[in-house]
Amino acid sequence: MEGGAGRGLECQKTMDGRANDGNGPEKEIPSCCLKARASIPELDAKCHSTVVSGWFSDAPSSTDKPCKQVYFNNPMWPGEAHSLKVEKILFQDKSDYQEVLVFESLAYGKVLVLDGIVQLTEKDECAYQEMITHLPLCSIPSPKTVLVVGGGDGAVLREICRHGSVEHIDICEIDKMVIDVSKKFFPELAIGFDDPRVNLHVGDAVEFLKNVPRGKYDAIIVDSSDPVGPAQELVEKPFFETIARALRTGGVLCNMAESMWLHTHLIEDMISICRETFKGSVHYAWTSVPTYPSGVIGFLLCSTEGPPVDFINPVNPIEKVEGAGKQCRELRFYNTEMHSAAFALPTFLRREVRSLRH
């Protein structure tokens, strides 16, 4: 399963970064030159359809397509692709649901890719995981019961665990391979699974939610992949209805909601479904994630009928959250100012997404 992305480079240097051309003593190579050498085109990363000439591009994966061809035609972002220089492919396999790839990149650390689409990188995962978690949990006082849909890498769990008020966390992830791969290659993220408050359910969240008692959760976080493949149902009305049913009155949902640069129609559809389904408030927020298509990702924040939720002015600021950051690394991205700023929307989005105007 291991690929050969970095092999050519490793043949030319020793583990401590010294070069040996066979004509004399080893010479020290400055780290900037090591980076430049990693970009030599002949050091091709081979044997994955999304990796061409040592560069990964976020195009749909397909095992039947030969290497060395470029497919810049993802239906979610036709005509564009974002590329990362690959140093070494660490893992690739096909689960029952999707193709799973992990590689070491030159610029963003290790990268998790599902069906050809970047899910996270070590460098910028903080922006996504911290915002999708703390936008909802800092908007209600003392959240106690939380459900995560998807999130098999464990990083949203890691973030939830900062909240000392939380007593019970369910996570429903369909693909066990994602969990196993995260535990092996991303221990700083998968640490979330170690918390005793976490209850793991491997299975289909749509089915799981049908059996959840009404009003069980204070907050639900939907950390899904894009709505192609296994996550397709997660943007449809019946799914949002089961979410609303599983939330207590005044409970909150935070749902991954794509890019405002690429998916205004999808965002509009999701907002209008949520306005029909959630009788409290519905807001759109966004953050910057450089390795996601167009460099941004959005979140839909909804509350059920009941005590009104002021999403924009958090009532449970993380700075005051008991135990925040004690078990894991410090927060890197989220703070109260970023929270409120995330709800500021560009004019084109307000104009194009009619349901955002009121």
Point out the residues that are catalytic. 223
CA angle centred on 225, ends 125 and 243, rounded to 5°: 105
* β strands within 242-325, DSSP E: 247-256, 282-288, 296-303
Q: Which neighbouring-strand residues pair with 256?
A: 299
Residue 66 in tokens: 């030969």
Give min distance, CB of 243 to ligand SPD, in A: 17
Q: Which is nearer to ligand SPD, 280 or 293 (CB)?
A: 293
| The two structure tokens encoding residue 40 | 């030599």
Whose Cβ is closer to ligand SPD: residue 140's or residue 149's? Answer: 149
Nearer CB in complex with ligand SPD: 138/148: 148
Please provide residue 323's backbone torsions phi and psi, each rounded to the nearest 5 degrees: 85, -5
Interface residue list for ligand SPD (CB under 6 A):
117, 119-120, 128-129, 151, 153, 155-156, 223, 225-226, 256, 292-293
Report residue 150 as tokens: 């998807």
Q: How far is the CB of 336 from ligand SPD (least distance, A)?
A: 23
Q: Mind giving me the DSSP string for 343-356?
A: T---HHHHHH-GGG
Shortest reach from residue 223's CB to ligand SPD, in Å = 5
Task: Tell me the residue nearest to ligand SPD as measured from the CB.
Answer: 119
Q: Residue 80 or residue 279: which is nearer to ligand SPD going by CB? A: 80
97: left (phi over 0), alpha (psi -120 to 50) or beta: alpha
Within 8 A by CB and 6+ apart from 71, the residues are: 49, 50, 59, 60, 62, 65
DSSP state of 13: B
Q: Rounded to an integer, what distance in angstroms lies between the CA atom of residue 181 and that of residue 177?
A: 6
CB of 130 to ligand SPD, least distance (A): 11
Task: Give the position of tokens 């998968």.
Answer: 190
CB of 110 to ligand SPD, least distance (A): 13
* 43 vs 198, beta carbon nearer ligand SPD: 198
Can you tell me whether residue 231 is helix, strand or coil? helix
* Cβ pair 148, 223 in contact under 8 A: yes
